[in-house]
A and B are shown apart, each in its own frame.
Chain A
Amino acid sequence: MLDARNQGWIGRQQAPALGPPPNGPSQTVREACLGILGCLLILAGPCLHAWALAEWTQPNYSVTVAAPLIKTGDVQSGSAVLTLNHDGPVTIQVAAASSGSEVLNSSTHDTLTTSYKLTGPALSNPDSEWVPSATFVSPATSYSIQSIGPASQLTLWARAQTAAARANDSGNYTASLVLTASW
């Protein structure tokens, strides 16, 4: 005998119409999108859940830095805005895609001093300062969205700095991060 709580959606009735009028057009669109998503889930069959969902609205993102780094000690930064649709509190964890990949490095294995920050009005603990790359991807660093959506915009900032006492190799520098949204 098993008891799979929250497992199925056998009932045919949908949740009651929810919510007073939204605040503005963009919110209307977002709420409508989540509503459609919820309806899809309810109608889709016995194993679906009409709640507790999260959706990245892009399959991936990239952040490029605004201008070339010319001389020693140069600093440049860039950002990307990420949209996460959700209907419950969400935690965001950042990790390096592979060991050391949080640091901007070149094909010659030269590296730039790399730092990040994650900001956004929905975050309960946005970064106010640049965070060194190792700290940013450490398991102890996580970001919390305690609101229940329907959409939260996050801005990921990346900053690159050339070495102060030597010239970096010329070329393109890349880094790879993984952002995980969870319950």
Chain B
Amino acid sequence: MTGLALVGAVAVLAGPANAGLGVAPLKQELNVKPGETAKFCISIINKMRGQEDTAQSARLEIMDFEATEDGGLVFREPSAGPTSASAWIALGKSEVTLGPGKDERIECTVKVPYSAAGEYYSAVMVTLGRKSRTETGVGLSLRIASGVFITVVGQTFPRQAKIEKCEFVWPPIASLSDLPKEGQPVWPEATVVLKNAGRSRFEGFGTLELIDANGRPLFRKPLLSKRPLVFGGDSRLFKCTVDKALPAGEYKARVTFDYQSQWAKAYSVAPLTISADQAAMLALRVRGAAPSKAASAQATLRISPDKLTAKVAAGGNRSLGLSVRNTGQDLLRCTATLVNEEDASIPDGWIAPAAKSFVLERLQSASLPMAVRIPPEATGIHKALLVVEAVGPDGTTTQTKVPVELTVAELR
């Protein structure tokens, strides 16, 4: 028999056009005391797009997950793993069908055992209901996972981190004048593995510095990860490219990580030798990338409004939002951090940006929503600065500070 396998033109054999489902939020955090029950919600949305829209269905289930070293997530059937909260969570519904323009909030409960301490995680997996109808080729089913992060209030575990590895990978130097072929690396790359040695999760923010034999820092750049959040016991890969001309010689590669600890940062220092060939290659490639660098130097981040003020009732919630726009020609990697002023600060947990780190393509604008939740016992005026830091491809950093002021009104 000869192979007569796959037929038909390239096609997308989906259902009616624009008929998917949305899920919100993509993650949420719950602080619950041992032995208590908390509620949380998952929203499923069938957005109205046109007259031909149809009802859509979805299936919900609780799943365990774990993160891989490079930041991917692996979802598994619920188990009794040491950080799994799956057995504690009850979904209000396991199936939902929504007409066009409809949405549904599904209330879920989590009951934390008396013996629990620390941090636990699970995901609510929403599988879009309609299966692919392909008779030949590849059928794709679609899912959206919403993370549920539970911190059991009471016993606290200190954040602990250590840098396990710092390596440099240089592209092959076949001929100094040759440009790399497509798919080949252009720049040397630093690879750093950060280990969470404790039980509390944290977000890692790392920087690589190359310091010459005279103690001068000649290169400084943030280390980036697909997932800066590192769960207890996990290791995470962070990377950055060395895209600056550096003279040949002996260097110290100093890596510093802020891991959201008030007390310490993680450091490591390793020797690095840049050979004459490697220095020549860097110089050539920097020269080749010069126009892009000139453009990126002018890259700026435009943020509006320039101040965020809100009046919120004690015990109330609301949303705030910023518009951010990359007005330059190069990609910007941005981080948003709430920094407290000395007096009347905004306590941790009151404001949660939807994304603490994000990327803006050239000329891209986007919104940065923030959830505000005020505890019932709070009063007064609270101020902080939202610092948005943007790093261009050449390491140029710009910082924009947006004052945030919350006035907490007493409940009447």
A contacts, CB < 8 Å to B: 1-16, 18-20, 22-23, 33, 36-38, 40-42, 44-45, 47-72, 74, 76, 78-82, 85-91, 93, 95, 97, 104, 106, 112, 116, 121-122, 124-125, 128-129, 139-142, 144, 146-150, 156, 158, 160, 162-163, 167-183
- Which residues of chain A are near B302, meaning CB under 8 Å? 20
A118 to B142, alpha carbons, bound, how many Å? 15
- Which residues of chain B are near A88, meaning CB under 8 Å? 26, 354-355, 358
CB closest chain-A residue, reference B365: A19
- Which residues of chain B are near A78, meaning CB under 8 Å? 10-11, 137
CB distance from B314 to the nearest CB of A (A): 11
A69 to B5, alpha carbons, bound, how many Å? 5
Using A53-B22, A56-B142, A90-B26 as known contacts, say yes or no to A44 and B105 having CB atoms under 8 A apart: yes
Residues 106-138 of B at the A interface (beta carbon under 8 Å): 107, 123, 125, 128-138
CB closest chain-B residue, reference A57: B20
A128 to B24, alpha carbons, bound, how many Å? 32
A95 to B63, alpha carbons, bound, how many Å? 15
- Which residues of chain A are near B19, meaning CB under 8 Å? 57-59
CB closest chain-A residue, reference B140: A61
Contact A147 B145 (CB under 8 A): no
Apart from A11-B318, A11-B319, A54-B22, what 12 extra A-B contacts exist at CB < 8 Å?
Answer: A3-B153, A15-B321, A16-B321, A37-B45, A56-B128, A60-B14, A61-B13, A63-B12, A80-B12, A87-B369, A89-B355, A156-B138
CB distance from B406 to the nearest CB of A (A): 12
A64 to B7, alpha carbons, bound, how many Å? 7
B221 within 8 A of A: no
CB closest chain-B residue, reference A7: B40
Q: Among A19, A40, A47, A173, which residue has its beta carbon within 8 angstroms of that of B136? A: A173
Specify the main secondary structure of chain B where it touches its partner: strand
Using A1-B33, A87-B354, A146-B333 as known contacts, say yes or no to A60 and B141 having CB atoms under 8 A apart: yes
A90 to B130, alpha carbons, bound, how many Å? 23
Q: Among B15, B139, B144, which residue has its beta carbon within 8 angstroms of that of A181? A: B144
Binding stretch for chain A, among B72-80, B81-89, B157-165, B265-273: B72-80
A72 to B30, alpha carbons, bound, how many Å? 57
B contacts, CB < 8 Å to A: 1-15, 17-33, 36-41, 43, 45, 47, 49, 56, 65, 68-75, 103, 105, 107, 123, 125, 128-147, 153, 182-183, 226-227, 302, 304-305, 308, 310, 312-313, 316-323, 325, 333, 349, 352, 354-355, 357-361, 363-373, 375
Q: Among B18, B28, B65, B146, which residue has its beta carbon within 8 angstroms of that of A5? A: B28
CB distance from B137 to the nearest CB of A (A): 4
Contact B137 A144 (CB under 8 A): no
- Which residues of chain B are near A51, meaning CB under 8 Å? 24-25, 319, 354, 369-371
A171 to B323, alpha carbons, bound, how many Å? 53
Sample (28) of A-B pairs whose CB atoms are under 8 Å apart: A5-B28, A5-B30, A5-B352, A8-B41, A10-B313, A19-B366, A40-B45, A42-B319, A53-B23, A53-B25, A54-B22, A60-B131, A60-B133, A62-B11, A76-B6, A80-B12, A82-B140, A85-B22, A112-B6, A139-B68, A148-B368, A170-B3, A173-B6, A178-B140, A178-B143, A182-B65, A182-B123, A182-B145
Contact B105 A48 (CB under 8 A): yes
A121 to B331, alpha carbons, bound, how many Å? 11
Q: Among B12, B25, B38, B372, which residue has its beta carbon within 8 angstroms of that of A62? A: B12
Q: Among B4, B130, B135, B183, which residue has its beta carbon within 8 angstroms of that of A174? A: B135
Using A62-B13, A68-B7, A141-B72 as known contacts, say yes or no to A52 and B368 having CB atoms under 8 A apart: no
A62 to B33, alpha carbons, bound, how many Å? 46
The interface centre, meaning the residue of A7, A74, A125 with most chain B CB atoms within 10 A of its CB, is A7
- Which residues of chain A are near B73, meaning CB under 8 Å? 91, 93, 142, 180, 182
Contact B316 A148 (CB under 8 A): no
Using A58-B142, A63-B140, A179-B140 as known contacts, say yes or no to A91 and B6 having CB atoms under 8 A apart: no
Contact A58 B18 (CB under 8 A): yes
The interface centre, meaning the residue of A59, A66, A142 with most chain B CB atoms within 10 A of its CB, is A59
- Which residues of chain A are near B39, meaning CB under 8 Å? 4, 7, 47
A36 to B45, alpha carbons, bound, how many Å? 11
Q: Among A5, A23, A169, which residue has its beta carbon within 8 angstroms of that of B3? A: A169
Contact B320 A15 (CB under 8 A): yes
CB distance from B261 to the nearest CB of A (A): 20
Using A6-B371, A57-B18, A172-B135 as known contacts, say yes or no to A81 and B12 having CB atoms under 8 A apart: yes
Q: Which 9 A-B pairs have the closest CB atoms?
A: A142-B72, A11-B318, A55-B22, A47-B41, A15-B321, A51-B369, A168-B3, A53-B24, A62-B134
A54 to B43, alpha carbons, bound, how many Å? 11
- Which residues of chain A are near B369, meaning CB under 8 Å? 15, 38, 50-52, 87
The interface centre, meaning the residue of A45, A50, A163, A170 with most chain B CB atoms within 10 A of its CB, is A50
